[in-house]
Every structure is written in C-alpha cells, then in structure tokens.
C-alpha cells in the first residue's frame, strides 16, 4: 500500500471521528431545543396520538428519565459513543445499531443505484456534447441540465410519479419489495446528479479535445475513436470523479426527501419518523450513519482519483 493511500485513509479516519462527535452533538442539542413536550411525543410514537394522555406521557418521562439535566444525558451519550454504543430507540426499545442495520441496506441500494444511473446518463451525454461543442446537442444538453439541476429531488420525484405511475402505469408510485419499486426513487436522485456530471464532463471533454496532445494523437494517425479511448477518457474521468465527491452531499440530502416521498424504508425515512417522535437515540444514530456514509463515499472517490490520475501519486 502506497504512502499516499495510507495518508488518505488516516486523514479520513480522523475526519470520521470528528464527524461522529459533531453530528451527534448537534443532533442532541437540536432535538432538545425543539418545542413541545418530548415525553408526549415519544408516548405518541409508541401508542399512537389517540391513545396518549397526560398520565401516559408522565409514565414515559419517568421510565426514560427525561427530567434529568441535559448535560448529564449528553455526557452519558458521549461515553456510550466512545464505546461504540448508540443506545436503544425510545419508541421501539430496539438497539439503534439493529434498526440501522436494517435501514442502511435499503439506503445503500437506493444511493448506489442512483449513482450508477447518474454515471450512465450524465458523463456519456456530456462527453458527446463536448465533442460537438456549440452544436444542437451541446445546446440541448445545457438546457436539460440547467432545468434538472434547478428542480429539487422531491419535485423530480412527483413528476416521475405523474408520468410513470399515474399516466403510464408502468411503475409503482411508492413502497418496497420488488425491483420495480426502486426505479422511481433512484431516478429522482440520479437525474439531479446526472445534470451536474453532464456539464462537468462536457467542459472537461471540450478542454481535452482542444489540448495539443489530443490534436497530436490525431495527427499521428489515430482514429477519433481510438484517440478518445486512449487519450480522452482518462483525462475526462479525473474531474468527473472528483466533482462527484462534491455532489455526494446532494445525494445524502436527497435520500431523506426521496425516501419519505416514496415510502422507501431507509435511514432517511427513519430519520423523519424519529424527529417527529423525538426519538433522540434514533435521530443521533441515523444522522451519524449519514455523516459517516458521506465520509466513506468521499474516501472511495479519492481512491478512485488516485487510481485514475498518476500525477497524484508520489514519484
């Protein structure tokens, strides 16, 4: 393993520790600052709003020791975090790790499918536009990319539901259980990612195609296709992969909205329900999982950039 990879992994490991502490602390403070009766919300999450009264809320407050000082609760949580413990859900009573293990798999399925679709849609169209810059394809891709990037994921999701579920009846509007349920939420995330990657790959392809080394490859007799595969693709791939790391925040944010819109049982959907129920351990656990997922995906992006671009490696 090279020194560059070791330094990268060590720095990302330190970053993961800082993210875990910062995300956990912020979610603890923000959930405590929310208005309303915390015990009543937790009781409603357990028994339903119609079955909750003041006695039930007081019983929950006594059971969970919700009247304790916030600083004491925070120190207790921090000690558990250092031991790798996330506690138990205040609503279901199940360990948070167990709940996350079930939900994280669904979120990873959705996120990875969205990334694959975005890479299949965006960069190929962008590279074609870069090779034909200034022509109709280039202008059409600019309009499409600008329109898609300006729409939030939930608007794209609603438009896809209206088209493919309501009008055409090809795909289910929501739910989980079959591969057909995955397409609409994944496409809702993928189109926004593809819009940006298309413009990044277009600009990179246009820059590479006008570079002296690309023209020299054509001059020495290589065909346009061979020149592209040998000298263009790798140089275009570096900025596309690097910018994908920046766009991962769009993916992480979009997961929360899209999972709620399509009733997809992932960590984003669980985070919304945990916030409503004031389930502080679940809020901290899901937010922590999303923060660490972002760090892990950025690490993979950095490793891919090291593999693609030899200039980043030590001599």
Q: Are residue 67 and residue 150 in the same domain, yes or no?
A: no
- Mean pLDDT over residues 23-44, rounded? 76
Confidence band, pLDDT 50/70/90 cuts, at residue 312: low
Contacts of 3 (CB under 8 A, 6+ apart): 314
Q: What is the pLDDT of residue 65?
A: 66
Q: What share of the chain is helix, strand, coil (3-state, %, to 5)?
A: 80, 0, 20
Determine the longest span between alpha carbons in the chain, in angstroms: 85
Is residue 124 within 8 Å of 202, Cβ to Cβ?
no
| Domain boundary, last residue among 83, 117, 141 | 83
- Mean pLDDT over residues 175-202, rounded? 86
E runs forming strands in 91-203:
none
Is residue 201 within 8 Å of 240, Cβ to Cβ?
yes
- Give the three-class secondary structure for 48: coil
- 206 lies in some domain: yes
- 30 lies in some domain: yes
Is residue 193 within 8 Å of 120, Cβ to Cβ?
no
Q: What is the pLDDT of residue 111?
A: 85
- 88 lies in some domain: no
Confidence band, pLDDT 50/70/90 cuts, at residue 14: confident
Q: Are residue 135 and residue 280 in the same domain, yes or no?
A: yes
- Fill in the DSSP letter of residue 262: T
Q: What is the pLDDT of residue 148?
A: 84
- 91 lies in some domain: no
- 90 lies in some domain: no
Instruction: Compute the distance between CA of residue 12 and CA of residue 9 in angstroms, rounded to an integer.
Output: 5
Q: Are residue 230 and residue 149 in the same domain, yes or no?
A: yes
Confidence band, pLDDT 50/70/90 cuts, at residue 313: low
Q: What is the CATH number of the domain that holds 234?
A: 1.10.3720.10
| Domain boundary, last residue among 83, 108, 136 | 83
pLDDT reading at 20 higher than 80: yes
Q: Are residue 201 and residue 53 in the same domain, yes or no?
A: no
pLDDT reading at 56 higher than 80: no
Q: Are residue 178 and residue 212 in the same domain, yes or no?
A: yes
The winner for highest mean pLDDT among 134-138, 190-194, 236-240 is: 190-194
pLDDT reading at 141 higher than 80: yes
Q: Please, which residues bridge with residue 88 across strands?
A: 95
Domain count for the chain: 2
Q: Are residue 188 and residue 304 in the same domain, yes or no?
A: yes
pLDDT reading at 81 higher than 70: yes
117/50: higher pLDDT: 117
Q: Are residue 232 and residue 208 in the same domain, yes or no?
A: yes
- 10 lies in some domain: yes
Q: What is the pLDDT of residue 41?
A: 73
- 235 lies in some domain: yes
Confidence band, pLDDT 50/70/90 cuts, at residue 63: low
Task: List the domain range (segments joined by +) for residue 32.
Answer: 3-83
Q: Please, which residues bridge with residue 95 across strands?
A: 88
């Amino acid at each position: 393993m090279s020194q560059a990879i070791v330094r990268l992994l060590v720095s990302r490991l330190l970053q993961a520790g800082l993210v875990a502490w910062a995300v956990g602390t912020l979610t603890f403070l923000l959930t405590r600052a929310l208005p309303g009766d915390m015990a009543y919300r937790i009781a409603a999450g357990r028994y339903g709003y119609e079955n909750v009264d003041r006695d039930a809320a007081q019983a929950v407050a006594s059971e969970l020791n919700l009247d304790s000082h916030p600083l004491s609760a925070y120190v207790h949580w921090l000690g558990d975090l250092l031991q790798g413990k996330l506690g138990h859900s205040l609503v279901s009573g199940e360990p948070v790790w167990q709940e996350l293990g079930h939900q994280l798999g669904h979120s990873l399925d959705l996120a990875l499918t969205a990334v694959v679709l975005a890479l299949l849609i965006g960069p190929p169209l962008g590279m074609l536009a870069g090779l034909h810059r200034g022509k109709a394809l280039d202008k059409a891709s600019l309009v499409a990319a600008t329109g898609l990037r300006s729409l939030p994921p939930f608007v794209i999701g609603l438009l896809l539901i209206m088209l493919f579920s309501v009008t055409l009846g090809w795909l289910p509007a929501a739910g989980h259980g079959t591969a057909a349920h995955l397409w609409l939420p994944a496409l809702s995330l993928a189109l926004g990612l593809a819009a940006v990657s298309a413009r990044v790959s277009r600009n990179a392809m246009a820059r590479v195609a006008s570079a002296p080394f690309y023209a020299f490859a054509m001059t020495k007799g290589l065909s346009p296709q061979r020149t592209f595969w040998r000298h263009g693709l790798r140089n275009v791939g570096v900025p596309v992969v690097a910018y994908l790391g920046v766009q991962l925040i769009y993916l992480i944010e979009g997961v929360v909205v899209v999972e709620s819109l399509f009733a997809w049982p992932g960590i984003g959907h669980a985070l919304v329900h945990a916030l409503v129920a004031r389930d502080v351990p679940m809020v901290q656990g899901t937010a922590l999982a999303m923060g660490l997922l972002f760090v892990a995906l950025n690490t993979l992006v950095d490793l891919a950039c090291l593999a693609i671009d030899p200039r980043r490696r030590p001599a």
